[in-house]
Amino acid sequence: MTTYVLIPGACHGGWWYQSTARELRQHGHDAYALTLTGIGDRAHLLSASVNLDTHIEDVVRLLEDERIEDAVLVGHSYGGMVIAGAADRVPQRVDALVYVDAFVPEDGDSCWTLTNDWQHEWYMSGSAETGFALAPLDFFDPRTTAHPLASLLQRIRLTGALEGVRRRDYVWASEFQDSPFTRFHERLHGDPAWRTHALPTGHNVMRDGADDLLKILLDVAER
């Protein structure tokens, strides 16, 4: 049995992975679909102090409290920042990392430094109402909620400890127009330390590429 910890992107909660988690459990694995602090059913905890470190700590606490030592951390979009930070802090509890059309940071990076102009505009215009929370885009699922802006601006601190995880995969959504994530697929494709996958979907890989994503996740569990 493998334990998957599934981290959604900005504005989304654990429900984003509901179908994926169900399928993983049906294959005999354990799956935690995590909602990060300040979002979804934890929106009552949203404040200007919620940042990337807060979300990394959400994952670390789960791994420690549940005594998980073989985690496959799966991060979609913004979630790539979170799984990188968590794996760097407690590498002894992480077996593999799967970035699903997600940011892959190096030390000192932030979502702001890694993304493109149209997302910069979203970050700034979407935070105008409160000054510290990013509003969901109009086409997002109605369940989405505001996202703490500080988590997108804070620079990540990485020691390199996550380089020791057994396996790292990158899943690229090739049909996402003007994608800020293409650069990561291009950088990692051909790197022997990574396995890359190009899926003919938009950014909502969990919906449009569910079967292919499930195959990738199950393959990651094979040692």
149-208 per-position pLDDT tens digit: 999 999 999 999 999 999 999 999 999 999 999 999 999 999 999 999 999 999 999 999
pTM of the complete model: 0.97
Residue-wise pLDDT tens digits, 62-97: 999 999 999 999 999 999 999 999 999 999 999 999
Rounded to whole angstroms, the Cα distance separating 15 from 22 reads: 11
The fold for domain 3-221 equals Rossmann fold (3.40.50)
DSSP 114-138: HS-HHHHHHHHHHTTTTSSEEPPPT
Give per-residue pLDDT as tens, 35-45: 999 999 999 99
Give the integer Cα–Cα distance in Å for 5 and 11: 18
Q: Which residues contact 38 (CB under 8 A, 6 or more apart)?
A: 45, 46, 47, 50, 54, 133, 146, 147, 148
Residues that are catalytic: 77
Q: H helices within 66-173, ranges in order?
A: 79-89, 111-114, 117-126, 150-153
DSSP, collapsed to helix, strand or coil, labels residue 162 as helix
pLDDT in tens, 10-36: 999 999 999 999 999 999 999 999 999
